[in-house]
Structure 1
C-alpha cells in the first residue's frame, strides 16, 4: 500500500465542480480513491464534498447522508423499548454518517465499527474526513475494528443488539465478489448468530430488493420490512430491516 502524499488536498476543486483526487491507494481489495468536490456553497464546514470510490465504483459522499443516518435510527426504533444501552455493530465506516448518528444518540451502549480498508480508517483518524467524524471517533463508546466484516461476523467473539450494514451498494450490487457471501444463507445465519434474541439487522441498499427480503424470511428473521428514502433522481435508497426471533 502506498502512503498518502501530504498535503491530502493540494489544490481546490475546479470552478465547474469537477472532482479533484485527494488520495489514491492500492490495498488488498483493490484501488480506493478519495475525491473532493465543490466550493463554499456545498454544505460542509469548508464547503467541500468528499467522495469515496472503490475500484472505479462510486460508494458514497458527504453531500447528504439521510439514508445512512436512517439505517441507525430505524434499527434503534425497531428494538424493544425496554432494551437498555443496546450494543451496536456498524459494518463499514464509509464517510462516517452512520457512526455520527450512533454517537449522537445517548441510548446506544458500545458502538463497534468494522472497516476492512485501512485507508478509509486513516482518512478519518488523520486525514480530510477527520473534520467530519472526529467527535464520533472520540466518543468513549466507539471502537474501530480493522477487519473484513464477513470474516468478523463468522468468527468474532461478541454479540450485539443491532447490526447496521453498509458495505455495498446493496445486496444485489456488491463492491467485491467476496461480499456476496454476506447476503447468502450462510452469511445471514452468521448475522443472526451475532444478534441477541430480538436483535435487529438493518442493511442499506441503493435500491429495493424483494429477493433479499425473501432471503431474510428464509433465514428465519421476522418483521421483515423496507423503509425508503427519496433521492433526487432514480429509485429511492432503502433500509432493509429484520428481527432475530427469541
Structure 2
C-alpha cells in the first residue's frame, strides 16, 4: 500500500505550530505537526456532511438565506451546505489558517468538488468569533466545526466560542428562528446544558464518521 506523503504545511496563527497536508493516491489527511492522530481525512467525512445538511434543512424555505460556516477544513461542510441551499443563498466561510484556504483552492479541492469556486461562497480569513460579533442578526444558520468541538484541541482560544458568552454572541448573530449547529468529536453533557442555559432549544444528533459506519460524532442543533 502506498504511504502518505507530506505535500504542504500551514502555520496556525499565534500558536507556534502548523498543520500538515498529507496525500496517498487520491486520499488526503490533515494532521497537527508533532502529533500522530488525524484532524480530518477525505476518507471519513460523513459527519462533516451531516453538519451542513442538518443545519440547512431547517432553512430551505427561506428567501436569500445567509449562512456562516466556522472552519473550512476540507470543504465538506461547505459543499453539503451549498448542495442544500437555494441559488440565491450566500455562504460565508471563516477560516483562521490561510494555508487551508490555499489547499482547498489547490490539490485538496477536488475531494469536495471545489466549493470555494461557487459564486455563493464568500471567504473571510480570521477568527469566526470576530465575524459573529460583527454580524448581529446576520445569519439564518451558523455551523461551527472549529477544533475538536467544545473542548479545544489545536487552539485554546477556540474554547471561548463554546462558553456562555460565546453562545450568547452566536445567538445574537442569528436571524429570527435561525439555527446554530455545532460539530464535536464526542458527546458533552455540559455543553448541552450550556446551550439550554443560553436560551436555546436543543437537539443532540449522533452521526457516523463515514455514512453509517465508523466513529460516532455529535452534532448539536440549537434554535
Query: Aligned-pair RMSD on alpha carbons?
Result: 2.0
Contact 1:174 1:180 (C-alpha < 8 Å) held by counterparts: no
**Residues 162 and 200 in structure 1, CA contact (< 8 A), matched pair in contact too:** yes
* Contiguous gaps of at least 5 residues in structure 1: 1-14, 40-47
Helix, strand or coil for the counterpart of 1:208?
Answer: coil
Q: Which residue of 200, 203, 216 maps to 2:182?
A: 203
Q: Is the 8 A contact 1:26 1:32 kept in 2?
A: yes
Q: Which has the higher contact order (CA 8 A, sep 6+)?
A: 2
- Over 3 Å counting, the alpha-carbon distance change for 1:105 and 1:219 in structure 2 is same
TM-score normalised by L of structure 2: 0.88
Aligned to 2:27: 49
What residue is the counterpart of 1:24 in the other structure? 9
**TM-score, structure 1 normalization:** 0.80
Q: Deviations over 1:170-197 (max 9, x none)?
A: 1134321110100001110110111001
Shift of 1:27: 4.0
Residue 36 of structure 1 corresponds to which residue in structure 2?
23
Larger Rg: 1
Alignment of 1:155-170 (within 5 A): 155-156=134-135, 159-170=138-149
Q: Deviations over 1:71-103 (max 9, x none)?
A: 111112234x64223211111110010111122
- 1:226 corresponding residue in structure 2: 204
The equivalent residue for 1:152 is 131
- Matched pairs, number: 215
Aligned to 2:66: 87
Q: Where does the alignment leave 5 or more consecutive residues of structure 2 unmatched?
A: none
2:94 is equivalent to residue 107 of structure 1:
no
- Relative to total residues, which structure has the larger strand share, 1 or 2? 2
